[in-house]
Amino acid sequence: MSASVLYDALGPRAKRRVAVGSIIAVIGAIAVLALVTVQLEEQGQFEQEKWAPLIDPSDERFPLVWDLMFEALGNTLIAAAWAMLFSLIIGTLLAVTRVTAARWYRWAVVGVIEFLRGIPVVIAIFFAARVLPEAGVDLEPLWFLVIGLTAYNSVIIAEIVRAGINSLPAGQREAGESLGMTRWQVLYLILLPQAFRIMLPALISQLVVVLKDTSLGFIISYPELVRTAGFIVQNLQNPIQTYLIVAVIFILINYALSRLAIFVERRLSRGRKAAVPEAQPMAATTVTGAGAGVGA
């Protein structure tokens, strides 16, 4: 945000006004923070007893708490990794078969996609965890979570892949076909590799969504971060403190992933055409926005 087109370089009077505005904004923020702090203090939320097991390494519960936290973080990451992998595979299959296969199949795929896009992820997870056992499918909670997440995210990824393929210049496909390649060869050797490069930022953003959605595993007793925080809270009676730590963990990881997505995007756009102006920094995000939107 160097020079915004929305306002001029500031003159002396405007500078003064901005300074006053800044001060008011900062004072307002401090006032709200102070008010919250006082209230929390009154409720005893800063008591050593509530914080020590989380932040004081000399507390005897500290290693136990963090062992649990890291185990839970591992569970969160494992679920997200599997869900992302399966979503990528199934999503890509959905996307490529949707453009190539027979008409009845296309209709079926569109139906499934619309169905899964229209229901909440949490219902998809619930569905997997409650209906599959009734049908005699016996799995660990991890896999029900992965199935639920995959069902939802694979259709999102299918849309991202389709957008990626469609964004390639028609000449790529034509050149492949003129060399005598089959439709599948064109797809696998020419279109998909390029499409994935374009899609990479959008895929990383989707990973953020998947990571956040693993927290819904608490509904089916999968011991990820949010549910494990629940166990810790029942032992230590410090819900505010523990969930604050969980929030910070999620925000740090997801923020890092978002930065990675932006970095990859810049690398890619620099690599392909050196002269892309910064005028359209949202190009790749639009792909994400259209397909992914907000996950939970």
Partner 1 sequence: MRLRGLMVGAVTALVLPLAACGGSDGGDSTNPPANEAASFEAGTTMEKLNKAGAVKIGTKFDQPLFGLKGLDGKPVGFDVEIAKIIAAKLGISADKIEWVETPSKVREEVIEQGKVDFVVATYTINDARKQRISFAGPYYEAGQDLMVKKDNSAITGPDSLKSANAKVCSVTGSTPSENIKKYIDPANLVLFDVYSKCADALRTGQVDVVTTDNVILLGLVDASKGEFKLVGKPFTKEPYGIGVTKGDTKFCEFIHETLEEASGNGGYEKAWKDTAGKVAPDTPKLPTLATCS
Partner 2 sequence: MGVIIDNIGLYWNGFLTTLRICVFAMVGSLILGTLIAACRVSPIPPLRWFGTSWVNVFRNCPLTVVLFFCAFGLPEIGINGAYFVFGVLGLVLYTSAFVCEAVRSGINAVPAGQAEAARAVGLTFGQSLSLIILPQALRTVVPPLGSVIIAMIKNSAIAGAFGVGGDLFDVGEVLTSARGEAALPVLTGVALGYLAITIPAGLLLGVLERKVAIAR
Residues that bind partner 2 (CB under 8 A): 1, 4-8, 10, 14, 18, 21-22, 25-26, 29, 35-36, 39-40, 43, 45, 114-115, 117-123, 126-127, 130-131, 134, 208, 212-213, 215-216, 218-219, 226, 239-240, 243, 246-247, 250-251, 253-255, 258, 280-282, 285-286, 289-296
Give the list of residues 6+ apart from residue 128 with CB closer than 8 angstroms, or none. 144, 145, 147, 148, 151
237 counts as binding partner 1 under rule CB under 8 A: yes
For residues 237, 239, 245 and 246, what is the CA-based torsion angle, rounded to 10 degrees?
A: 120
Residue 170 binds: one of partner 1, partner 2, none (C-beta under 5 to 8 A by kind): none
Structure tokens at 119: 């229901």
Give the list of residues 6+ apart from residue 176 with CB closer than 8 angstroms, or none. 185, 186, 189, 190, 191
Binders of partner 1 in range 65-94 (CB under 8 A): 65, 67-68, 71
Residue 292 binds: one of partner 2, partner 1, none (C-beta under 5 to 8 A by kind): partner 2
Nearer to partner 2, 36 or 179 (CB): 36
Residue 176 binds: one of partner 1, partner 2, none (C-beta under 5 to 8 A by kind): none
232 counts as binding partner 1 under rule CB under 8 A: yes
Structure tokens at 154: 């694979």
Binder of partner 1 out of 77, 93, 233, 283 (CB under 8 A): 233
Binder of partner 1 out of 200, 236, 245, 261 (CB under 8 A): 236
Q: Which of 197, 237, 233 is nearest to 218 (CA)?
A: 233
Give the list of residues 6+ apart from residue 149 with CB closer than 8 angstroms, or none. 79, 80, 83, 87, 121, 124, 125, 210, 213, 214
Structure tokens at 204: 């990383």
Residue type at position 198 = I
239 counts as binding partner 1 under rule CB under 8 A: yes
Contact positions vs partner 1 (CB under 8 A): 44, 47, 49-50, 53, 60-61, 64-65, 67-68, 71, 133, 138, 218-219, 221, 230-237, 239
